[in-house]
Amino acid sequence: MPHLVTVSGNRIPLRRGQSYVLGRGLDCDVVVEDAACSRRHAMLSVAQINNAAFLEDLGSRNGSYLNGDRVRSRVAVRDGSRLQLGQSIYLVRMKEEREEIDLAETGTVAFEQSSFNQDCDGGELANYSVVDLVKLLFNARRSVTVHIAAQDGPGLLEMRGGDLAYAEFQGLEGFNALVRLGRQRSGIFWLVECEDECFRNLTDPTVRLLAELQRCVDPNAVPRP
């Protein structure tokens, strides 16, 4: 069943062939507890077939955003997109649960596919921890900015050519921020391609940073040879 995922890890089921009004009003189909959200903020319509969905803004005060772009008219929503209403961010999942289980069992993740180059690709920290995500990006030698919307606030990782370059979270920078991010058990992340240089606050080799991060996040973990 299609669903929305919140930064706290909750899943809001969506039925095919139905439309949902999202907003702060208690009469909305999906109530968004956010002062920056309008009473009737946006409508999400789920098609009966083809994993299709559509989003339209309902004249909200602060606008609706899909993958960082303001929604000006009715727009198509694809699986893995992020929806922002006010300060609240949701991950849109159109796949059936069985498909997601198969994805996890095979070890193949969405951002390893060709669509990884698009800035709306991402997932849930509950499925792919920060440690796992950094390992994947390191092995793929990617240059990306990783945006993270966690329950404790927004965070940011910068990777250049697969190497960790920068981290910030909860007013911290560098390795301390990386550890705090690594301890988040729920949240939404998305990736934005970025080739230019950034200010580095992580200068140790990424392999060493990963080993130390895993030790800090899980003291009982046994380092792999």
* CB neighbourhood size of 47 (10 A): 15
- In this prediction, residues 28-35 reach a mean pLDDT of 96
User: Does position 76 have pLDDT exceeding 50, yes or no?
Assistant: yes
Q: Which two tokens stand for residue 72?
A: 């000006």
What does the radius of gyration of the chain's CA atoms come to, in whole angstroms? 18
Residues above pLDDT 70, as percent of the chain = 86
Q: What is the pLDDT of residue 51?
A: 82
CB atoms within 10 A of CB 171: 9
Q: What is the mean pLDDT of residues 208-212?
A: 93
pTM confidence score: 0.84
Annotate 102-135 with DSSP letters as a single string. HHHHHT--GGGSGGGGSTT-EEETTTS-HHHHHH
Task: pLDDT band for 197, please (50, 70, 90 cuts).
Answer: confident
Distances (CA, A) of 171 to 113, 156, 168, 179: 33, 11, 7, 13
Instruction: Tell me the average pLDDT across 69-86.
Output: 94
pLDDT in tens, 152-182: 999 999 999 999 999 999 999 999 999 999 9
* Start-end of H helices in 76-205: 97-106, 130-140, 175-182
Average pLDDT over residues 133-146: 93
